[in-house]
Structure 1
């Protein structure tokens, strides 16, 4: 007979602050943050691409840092502040990155765009990118199958205030 202290609970209560709103979820322990956002909170802007952390479509900000939500268990982020693409805009006004993506036509099919925007927001907050080469390097974890990379870099430069 198994020791009750060593059994995995059926569900675990998780508290998250998602896009400024406190949310409590009862999740099975193996639920990824991506699945918690999409399936339990119906925030479908964050995309499931490769489900292996290689494409960046699932990028969200956790406590201001960009992560691949498909590789992160929701229970690991209990109490964290999560920002998805739905939470990037403030008070009905687009985030400068969102406007820059429009201005530079930095999307084609749009599937990667939420992850690209969240990753770019993290990149701006980190303050490490100084030129287009550094932007490309620091955004290399976000893939675009349509090849809109030059436009994405231009959009990020615009949001950074670079010509």
Structure 2
């Protein structure tokens, strides 16, 4: 084998190794897409807090506890963002290695779900829609499309009267 062939083969292998290493080491991110209608939070801007959280702590945290993290973020806070009514926003954060992620919206007068928990394994993307004073959840989300109707199974024969 000629020297030229050996060196070009090594270059290709080196390039492939570097590409695989770069992909394997790239931090995983979570993309959060937020749709905020004009009437969300009574038309006023609000904060969104994205944080890593232990599930037990998530259940114990109050609205006041989470709101305090806007002014004094601790090591759990991944990002705080102002959300403006009538806009859409996309936020990208680095996924924590092991813990779930809580996403809280600090409505002026929350009425229902104001935060949500994303359990591990975390998705790559989440879509959230705000309502006037809460997050749209399964209970207040529009109904999912109905599956195509299946032909009905034949009815069982009725017993003859005696």
TM-score normalised by structure 1 residue count: 0.28
TM-score normalised by structure 2 residue count: 0.28
* Bigger relative CO (Cα 8 Å, ≥ 6 apart): 2
Which structure has the greater CA radius of gyration? Answer: 2
